[in-house]
Structure 1
């Protein structure tokens, strides 16, 4: 894991519209097996209130799909909360195994999924319907269900680029949850700090791109478990590009659309967490 920041090289940040790659591999590089079965029709995203602490060791069964109704073929009662909770537990199970194999204490993080219009107070400020964030001071992922619906529908966008040719969907939301969970892992490792008065070890855009890459690492794991569905990676790529921006002088700059896309695909193609170190160590 990263211990210190080293300036390896400087790359001039090229501003402009992010071009999509001609093709996106639907399997990680070097893998030839087929991807899952055909995507099940996703239920309309609904909402319900929930809070909780992640249990350890829960994950999708082989062949069980993130976009499928967890109770079976009947989609009645399937909510956005169900999808968010299922996704975050799957992500937690994957990283718990990685942490255990590396000799680290298994990660823990709290989560809360506010209902539309609900305001939740955190040490990082109150939430609203646009909130999808990790608060280090509380070790808490707050992900508004209204925001999850926007991401699912491709309505969340932080730039004026033309919409990607790829659709958004359920895996767009799963990617966003995986990104926020990655921030909790960064906090565990001291990459980001829990106290607001501390000096940041890394610029925000570096930790954001690193989190995108680690979200791709988790996506790679869903392929190997057989839970990835056709179109899922394209959905995540669409969302990385929707949530990129171009004003590098902004304190909250997270990376350009192309940078965010490429960071996610680095994780997706490698499946190796250390391959994401470059996003902390190299200036982009």
Structure 2
């Protein structure tokens, strides 16, 4: 991905050197359950820390830690990618929605921080919080993405940013609030099914961004789409459960299978139309 030397976003809130912040209680989960929860926390999408705590029941303060040269490079990359999403979605909203797009803020942190959706940590993975319309990202997550999940490459990292921004797009359209209202009123299985539709739509929106970013900025290089598709495959619910040594249990899926995530990303990439990403009115997820 060609990104260096291009405009960065001003909608960055850098908390990586912060040592203050409120504390949260972290309940203890061990054994295989802890492993599965950690893997779940590495999904892209909603904040898992609101309903899952990792650790031994101690207070976790928002903390910074050393900001390395790699962290700085990652922050610059995120800033440029975020700027790209701002321009792309402003154009898409004008043409396909008929109104202005209000971009989110990206919070960069190291270690742990707080959000209206709950505590954030490196274990919780990136997430979008509709409560403050901010996306949260530990800059070390890109290392996890490559080393632990097998999804390396700069465009795989761009996909992470684009996916979280896609949740903001859903929030701007009122989709997220409606879906979450329904999720709170139905069974766990039905709530999971709605969550899958939310996540697959975000993947589809990410595909729209990828195609239009290529057309507007000529930023994609050979193999970039393959990196994004590989990332989508590596974080499919079925793949994560297999890699954790578990039997695949579709009723527990919250993000969709590897095949589904790839297919919906491809749908957005090929059509460039938000209407084609309506995962809520199809029986063919």
If the TM-score is normalised by the length of the shorter chain, which range does it land in? 0.5 to 0.7
Task: Provide the C-alpha distance between the structure 2 equivalents of 1:194 and 1:173, rounded to a whole number of angstroms.
Answer: 29
**Residue aligned with 1:249, SS:** helix
> Which segments of 5 or more consecutive residues in structure 2 lack a partner in the other structure?
5-11, 15-68, 184-190, 239-248
Q: CA-to-partner distance for each residue in 1:233-274, whole Å, 9 max, x for gaps?
A: 000001000110133322x61000110011111111222222
Structure-to-structure mapping, 1:165-204, within 5 angstroms: 168-193=152-177, 198-200=181-183, 203-204=194-195
Contact 2:232 2:262 in 1 (8 A): yes
- Is the CA contact (8 Å cut-off) linking 1:136 and 1:194 kept in structure 2? no
SS in 2 for 1:120: strand
Maintained 8 Å contact 2:122/2:138: yes
CA 1:77–1:185: 2 relative to 1, 3 Å: closer
- 2:107 and 2:254 mapped to 1: Cα distance? 25
Task: Compute the displacement of 1:108 (Å).
Answer: 2.6
Q: What is the total number of aligned residue pairs between the two structures?
A: 202
Choose the corresponding residue for 2:137, options 139, 143, 156: 143
Bigger shift: residues 100-109 or 213-222: 100-109
| TM-score (normalizing by structure 2) | 0.64
- The structure with the largest strand share of the pair is 2
Alpha-carbon offset, residue 199 of structure 1: 2.5
Task: Mark the CA change 1:128 to 1:76 in structure 2 (over 3 Å): closer, same or farther.
Answer: closer
Task: Give 1:194 shift.
Answer: 8.5
Answer 1 or 2: which has greater helix percent.
2
- Which structure 2 residues correspond to residues 78-157 of structure 1 after superposition, within 5 A? 79-101=73-95, 102-115=97-110, 117=111, 119-130=112-123, 131-151=125-145, 153-156=146-149
In 2, Cα distance between the equivalents of 1:269 and 1:40? 21
- Structure 2 distance, partners of 1:213, 1:195, is 17
Answer whether contact 1:187 1:194 (CA < 8 A) is retained.
Answer: no
Cα distance between partner residues in 1 of 2:82 and 2:3: 21
Question: In structure 1, what is the equivalent of residue 8 of structure 2?
Answer: none
CA distance in 1 between counterparts of 2:81 and 2:222 reads 17
**Aligned residue among 226, 233, 244 for 2:236:** 244
Question: Residues 244 and 103 from structure 1, CA distance in 2 versus in 1: closer, same or farther, beyond 3 angstroms?
Answer: same
Q: Which structure is richer in relative contact order (CA contacts within 8 A, separation 6 or more)?
A: 1
SS at structure 2 position matched to 1:203: helix
- TM-superposed CA distance for 1:77, in Å, is 9.2
